[in-house]
Structure 1
Amino acid sequence: MAKRQWWAKPRLRTDEEEDRERRVGWLELFFDLVFVVVVAELSHSLAEHISLPGVIGFVLLFVPVWWTWIGGTFYNERFETHDVSNRIFVFLQMLPVAALAVFAHDALGETSIGFALAYAAGRAIIIILWLRGGWHDQRFRPVSNRYAIGFGVSLLLFVGSVFTPPPIRFWLWGVGLLIDVVTPMTTLHIQARLPRFSTSRLPERLGLFVIIVLGETLVGVVRGVAEQHDLTLATGVTGALGMALGFGLWWVYFDFVARRQFKRGRWWPLIWTYLHLPLLMGIVAVGAGVSNVVASEETSLPAEVRWLIAGAVAVALIIIGLLELTLRRREDEPTHPQLSPLLKIAGGLLAFGLGWLGVGFSSTLLLSLLMLPIFIQMVYGAYVWFQQPLAEPGVEPHG
């Protein structure tokens, strides 16, 4: 009997070609925990700086955090091994993420140099991992070489940014992130000849990250209530409505998106993945806005807070609708191929309208009205699911 290797050579995973279902492992769940801290820091910072510059800054900081997670996730998708080397490399990837969390709160101020170097360190590790994969599996070498070039240029821009003053420093970050995001697009024609991505594991991985940011929404609400000196009925109602928004977004995403596989093809996995970025930022922004509202002692709702919450709900619903268009449809799929995504997009437009027309709204009224477009999706989902016959006795079709 062959023994397990403690330091295995990475090889391209072929689970999808062999119809093997892959599940998320305990190590990946532990890896995700460090991102909980970063997301919490970014959400808290946004809640304290709700303005157009604050939102732009949040986007500039969230993208590198998300891209770091994507890098580790997709490397494991391609080359995961169950040995000591995998555990060591995962831990090494966690260290720069922890540093990102340390520097995140004032990453556009005094700690911007630390944030840039932390991101660069994370990129250096993932570049080494991709090159290692290409070295041991020649089929992947053309992809790993392109990754090394594109990601390497981004890394140099982040390192170089520490020698420049703001705002030039942040412009260099933006260019570096753009190169990071575009680089995988240049490899799609090569990756089309490689083993396919797992349609069982990747949806689970992205779903777990959605859970992370939804969890931060709940944390933000609880933190906002806890910061109140005098708890009142109005505070409790606002907090409950904030939790309801998070719960509603969970309901809609996991009923309509997470349970289904993305379409096969050259571009669909990438589009499906990238659409999650604005969705995740929207969910975090909802939590930050609600946290600000709950913690505030003002009776009126500032315009910037109103726009943040309404706009974030709108973005989340519209992106969920677009995500539906990237998913495969089985013969027994109960949702309508056009109506279902259109309901999400229409709901998002309604949320935008509430942000536009909600001048003078109290926080309770705005949050209550924003539940309406979410509730419509929940009702539609429940209706089509419970009209569906049971797959087998005792098994519910609605998860």
Structure 2
Amino acid sequence: MSLLAHPLWRKPRHHLDSDQSNDHVHWMELFYDLVHVVSIFVMGNFLSHHLSFAGFAVFVCLFVVVWFAWFDLSLFNSLYVSTDIHHRLLMATQIITVMLMTSSINSIDAGGWSFFAAGYALNRGIIAFLYRRARLVGDSQASLPGEMSRNYTIAACIFAVSAFIPPPYGYFVFALGMIVIWAGFGLPKIGTIRFERLLPRLGHMAERFALLLLIVVGEGFFKLVITLSNVGIDQVKPDVFVNYMIGGFALFAMAWIYFDFAGNGKPRNTENRTMVQWTLSHLLLMLSAVCVGVALSAEVKIGFWDHYPLKYAVLGCFGLSTYLYSLLLIQNVIEERAAHRFATAKIRMFGIAMSFLTLALVSFVPALVGNFLWGMALFSQVIIPATNAYRAISSEEANKAG
């Protein structure tokens, strides 16, 4: 093997030009996800301590911009096969920028803002450099990486300026930077979405979404365990342990329905509309999963006959309904799989309707009843498809045997 063919020194190449591409996630990407474990946990804690419309709005904005930091690097790694030593050092630097942003979240409305914006500017600047490097080392069609590098460079400069402007004015300048990035992707005729080579490795991106979804849903376990630990496991009544188990089963069920019906699913076509829906539906899915995880942390604070805290109930019911709707959107744009026969839109709508019924009644019924209604909304998404599948497949096998 020549030196330039070794992964440590092999130049980055677009996956359409490379014979080294595959759909497997590289260990560097998995390590990059580790810092997002902490980031998502900190954002969930921020939401837990700011259960108001303003606090929720800040949380949503934080989640969206951090999620796009994750997505943009994942997209680059899906477009370009890049494992050399320079890329590894740049990935390590990206991790440091996310660490800086994460450490700033708790004080984002005060002194932390400048550090968050500066970290984000550095993060975007590294993405710009990655695309510039891909263009310089010999992309067979340099227009795409050239424009991507230009757009991220402009946005990085705007983010850097926003770091020196105190909130709330700095927020508006920062938002301008996000608009530049999104416009650079999506504007008709001039956005990079017009390039056919913007198409990532579909299996790779599907796996990236699935792995991050596991992290996002798994954060709910962190919140349940840490909340019970803080309350004191020896200080709670038996009914709290039942609520605790309900929370654990609920999180498992959320992962279950995703992986059975949408996880690792590739888009059914590569049209721009399909790709955008596939991407943004995963963003909404993960955002709602964090909301449900935060809402479930209240399970260990109450007994059967207490009223479920209303703010947590609102978060959990809206979160679950949005999660199910996002799942339906993803199902509609990925390749057909056998499970889709049994997880129909009617079942998803039943779960959404039960979520809103729970929200309407939660202030008037004990938590035992509220948990039962909310549980019907979620566990119906497992039980009904599984039951229908068992009956249908058993009937088909009986007909073949007969």
Using the TM superposition, give the Cα deviation of residue 103 of structure 1 relative to its aligned residue in structure 2, in angstroms: 1.1
8 Å CA contact 2:328–2:348 kept in 1: the answer is yes
Question: 1:67-125 CA distances to partner (integer Å, 9 max, x unpaired)?
Answer: 11111111111112233223222111111011112112222233111111111111111
CA distance in 1, matches of 2:360, 2:174: 32
Question: Displacement, 1:273?
Answer: 1.4
Amino acid at match of 1:271: Q
RMSD across aligned C-alpha pairs, in angstroms?
2.6
Larger RCO (alpha carbons 8 Å, 6+ apart): 1
The answer for the alignment partner of 2:245 in structure 1 is 240
The verdict on how the C-alpha distance between 1:60 and 1:346 changes in structure 2, with shifts beyond 3 A counting, is same
> SS in structure 2 opposite 1:227?
helix
Q: Partners in 1 of 2:132 and 2:183 — Cα distance?
A: 18
Alignment check: 8 A CA contact 1:46 1:55 kept: yes
Secondary structure of the 1:27 match is: helix
Q: Which runs of 5+ in 2 are unaligned?
A: 395-402
* Residues 1:12 and 2:14 are matched in the alignment: yes
What is the match of residue 308 of structure 1? 315
Work out the CA distance in 1 between the residues paired with 2:60 and 2:132. Answer: 29
Distance 2:264 2:164 in 1: 46
CA distance in 2, matches of 1:217, 1:82: 33
Aligned residue identity for 2:38: V
SS of equivalent to 2:340:
coil
- The answer for the alignment partner of 1:212 in structure 2 is 215
Gaps of 5+ in 1: 390-399
Deviates more, 1:171-180 or 1:225-234: 171-180
Q: What is the CA distance between 1:221 and its match in structure 2?
A: 0.7
Length, aligned pairs only: 383
1:384, distance to aligned residue in structure 2 (A): 5.5
What's the CA shift string for 1:231-250, capped at 9, x where partnerless?
Answer: 21122122212222211111
Structure 2 matches for 1:1-399, cutoff 5 A? 1-3=1-3, 4-5=5-6, 6-14=8-16, 21-185=22-186, 186-190=191-195, 192=196, 194=197, 196-229=199-232, 230-267=235-272, 268-295=274-301, 299-329=306-336, 333-336=338-341, 340-383=344-387, 386=390, 387=392
Q: State how far apart, in whole Å, the 2-side matches of 1:368 and 1:259 are.
A: 31
| SS state at 1:175 partner | helix
**CA-CA distance at 1:344 after TM superposition:** 1.8
Query: How far does residue 311 in structure 1 lie from its aligned partner after superposition?
Result: 0.6
Q: Distance in 2 between matches of 1:213 and 1:108?
A: 24
Shift of the alpha carbon at 1:359? 2.2
Q: Secondary structure of 1:370's match?
A: helix
What residue in structure 1 maps to residue 397 of structure 2? none
Report Cα offsets for 1:349-374 as digits up to 9, x if no partner: 43133223322334443233212122
The offset of 1:44, in angstroms, is: 1.1
| Larger CA deviation: 89-98 vs 131-140 | 131-140
TM-score by length of 1: 0.88
Q: Give the structure-2-normalised TM-score.
A: 0.87
Question: By how many angstroms is 1:315 displaced?
Answer: 0.7
